[in-house]
Amino acid sequence: MMRLVAVQCKAEMLRIFRNPYYVFWSLLMPIMFYFIFTRVVNTGPDDASEWQAHYLMSMAAFSVMGSAIMTMGIRLVQERTQGWSTFIRITPLPSSVYFTGKMFGQTLMHLFSVLCIFLAGYLMNGVSLTAEQWLLSGLWILAGSMPFLALGTLIGFMKRVDTASGVSNVLYMGLAVAGGMWMPLDIMPKLMQRIGHWLPSYHFGDGAWRIVAGNHPQWGSILILLGYLAVFMILSVYIRKKQEAV
Amino acid sequence: MNHVIEMNGVSKAFNDKKAVDGISFTIGKGSITAVLGPNGAGKTTMISMLLGLLEPTEGTIKVFGSSPRDVRVRERSGAMLQEVSVMDRLKVREIIALIRSYYPQPMDMDFLLGATGLAPADLNRYAEKLSGGQKRSLSFALALAGNPQLLFLDEPTVGLDTTARRHFWDTVRELAARGTTILFTTHYLQEAEDIADRILLFSQGTIVADGSPEEIKARMVKQSLSFLPAGNAAHLRGQLLELPSVEDCYDKDGRIHVTTENTDEALRGIFTGGLAVRDVRIHQGSLDEAFEQLTMNREEDTK
């Protein structure tokens, strides 16, 4: 069983890193944004270094959220439309192992993105955090990506790659803007703030923002993220049952 | 346990339309069965049910005495599906190794590489870069990865060129010689006739004929005679139809054809009656014609 998981994980890892397209797009936009909003446009915050660390977390979370929703979702749709998932179903491989492999591959990709973006922050602005802060914020972002992976799995049930990529793009951008990843929620209208406080993306970012500000993520954030995870997973089990019951 | 597959009164309906309608048959160990029928006859639906991908609406299916979804059944069977299925960004060799790892007693790696019929350079290419036919060959090797005792092949040779097709059937024959039970669907009649020791003829979701290729042929294929008229053709036709052994009479390619159950009787009738014919030929109907006749008759019946 362990051998099976290991082989599956290795295959998924190979596939992700041999497809530089996904890795490139998940890094390009966040790093460009980071450059623009900390070096080019002077957003004039009171404490420049605090803003640089804050926005670095925004962009790391933004990047990971994107690959969790989009890469996961689109790949699942591709595998289904190409008949690969059907083939896997007739092999003795338990679907849990198949899924574990996918999650592992995604997490590695997230880890890679986080490392690249942190490095970019360090190189561009000399962002300096304690070792504990680097580590904790990185772990928070990896763990906090779970609800978004579950959302990606939901996207993965869509029939066509075009639909999946359209829908996931809208969701991704919507969640990022409304969750204060591009611009802090504080400078947005009241209504936007109220909506934002219920979005998983806000709480995902907020945990990391608090860590780099020397605090800890709030329990409320953890609960809300877990809540979204549970809802997405239940939906996904339900849809899967429905699709298979033919 | 001599029955590898048992289907009992199996039906499958999609939105009230029956794709498979009350099918029962058993498949013995080590047999090669061809499921033959036109498109939309229900062949793929039946294979999907045998693979546990679809749940029958009615009836029971047993494979190796268990449900098709049983993991022990999956470990002992392999399938080549119609859809081209390869994982992107993995090399041919890597995909084969990956699928092999799913099975407790996989097939020898070299045998699988050989079964693809691909050149060594192609084995190191990314699977998604292969041509359609090459992908089919790869999915054949993937079907064999677990060293299956039961092999399903759904329209296996569609898209294969002549060389690949010959290589494919050679491998299938080798597997059959080792005792692998094989069930394949096809609408190439020649393939069914050449490879299978049993044909299940499908039409409109039911089995319309079941037997060895020879039996089906003997039962379905009408023999015929043809000749040129030596005198008045119209008069000859009238005479022919009066012979008790002649069933029908028609013109084709400038010759007069008669269909009969018994060519000997018909010939005797023609010669003892002194009918004016010359250049007599005896025709053995092909399975192709029988197949066409059978499935067409069915279609007309339902109209």
| 3-state SS string for B40-99 | CCCHHHHHHHHCCCCCCCEEEEEECCECCCCHHHHHHEEEECCCCCCCCCCEHHHHHHHH
Q: pLDDT tens, B75-130?
A: 999 999 988 667 888 999 999 999 999 999 999 999 999 999 999 999 999 998 99
What pLDDT, in 10s, does the model give residues B14-37?
Answer: 988 899 999 999 999 999 999 988
**Interstrand relation of B181-186 and B32-36 (parallel, antiparallel or unpaired):** parallel
In this structure, is residue B289 part of a structural domain? no
B146/A91 touch (CB, cutoff 8 Å), yes or no = yes
Q: How far is residue B3's CA from residue B292's CA, in Å, rounded to a whole number?
A: 31
Within this chain, do residues B51 and B189 fall inside the same structural domain, yes or no?
Answer: yes
Q: State the Cα–Cα distance between residues B84 and A83, nearest whole angstrom.
A: 7
Question: What CATH number is associated with residue B118?
Answer: 3.40.50.300
Q: Does A241 touch chain B (CB under 8 A)?
A: no
List of chain B residues whose C-beta atoms are within 8 Å of the C-beta of residue A15: 87-90
Single pTM value for the model: 0.83
Cβ of B74 and A15 within 8 Å?
no
Distance from CA of B200 to the nearest CA of A (A): 24
Min Cα distance B10 → chain A (Å) is 15
Contact A19 B52 (CB under 8 A): no
User: Could you read off the pLDDT of B119-167 as tens digits, one per residue?
Assistant: 999 999 999 899 989 999 999 999 999 999 999 999 999 889 999 999 9
The mean pLDDT value for A42-55 works out to: 81
Evaluate whether residue B262 is within a structural domain: yes
Distances (CA, A) of B251 to B185, B231, B257, B274, B277: 35, 15, 6, 20, 14
Tell me the pLDDT tens digit for each residue of A167-187. 999 999 999 999 999 989 988
- A174: enclosing H helix or E strand: helix A161-178
**Residue range A184-208: mean pLDDT, rounded:** 94
- Residue A21: pLDDT over 70: yes
Output Rg (C-alpha) for chain A, integer angstroms: 18
CB contact under 8 A, A91 and B55: no
Specify whether B88 is located in the same domain as B144.
yes
In the chain, the amino acid numbered A141 is I
B24: containing domain: 3-217
Mean pLDDT of A2-6: 90
Q: What SS3 class is residue B194?
A: helix
Residues B177 and B108 in one domain: yes
The shortest CB-CB distance from A90 to any of B53, B101, B126 is to B53
pLDDT at B214 over 90: no
Query: What CA–CA distance (Å, rounded) separates B24 from A34?
Result: 66
Tokens 């020879």 belong to which residue? B214
> Of B202, B217, B232, which one is at a domain's C-terminal end?
B217
What's the pLDDT at B238?
A: 86
Task: State which of B200, B217, B234 marks the end of a domain.
Answer: B217
Question: Which chain B residues are within 8 Å of A18, Cβ to Cβ?
Answer: 89, 126
Minimal Cα–Cα distance from A68 to chain B, Å?
19
CA gap B143, A90 in Å, rounded? 10
Q: Are residues B57 and B128 in the same domain?
A: yes
Is the pLDDT score of B51 beyond 60?
yes
Where is average pLDDT lowest: A21-30, A136-145, B14-23, B288-297? B288-297
Q: What is the pLDDT of residue B193?
A: 86
Say yes or no: B94 and B228 in one domain: no
Judge if B255 and B170 occupy the same domain: no
Put simply, whether A246 touches B (Cβ < 8 Å) is yes
Q: Read off the pLDDT band of A19 (50, 70, 90).
A: confident
Domains: count for chain B: 2
Query: What residues of chain A lie within 8 A of the CB of B44, using their CB?
Result: none
Q: Is A6 in CB contact (< 8 Å) with chain B?
A: no
Average model confidence (pLDDT) for chain B?
A: 88
What does the alpha-carbon distance between residue B74 and residue B202 come to, in Å, rounded to a whole number? 26
What tokens does A227 get? 């809540």
What's B247's domain CATH number? 3.30.70.100
pLDDT of residue B301: 44
Pick from A18, A84, A92: CB nearest B74: A92
Please tell me which residue of chain B has the smallest CA distance to A89: B53
Q: Return mean pLDDT, chain A.
A: 92
Say which amino acid occupies A29. Answer: M
Contacts of A90 in chain B (CB under 8 A): 51-53, 74, 77, 79, 81
Query: Of the ranges A20-34, B134-148, B226-240, which is most confident?
Result: B134-148
Same domain, B187 and B227: no
- For residue B52, being part of any structural domain is answered with yes
Domain boundary among B217, B252, B274: B217
Q: Over 70: is that where the pLDDT of A231 sits? A: yes
Q: Report ipTM (2 d.p.).
A: 0.87
The DSSP letter of residue A93 is: -
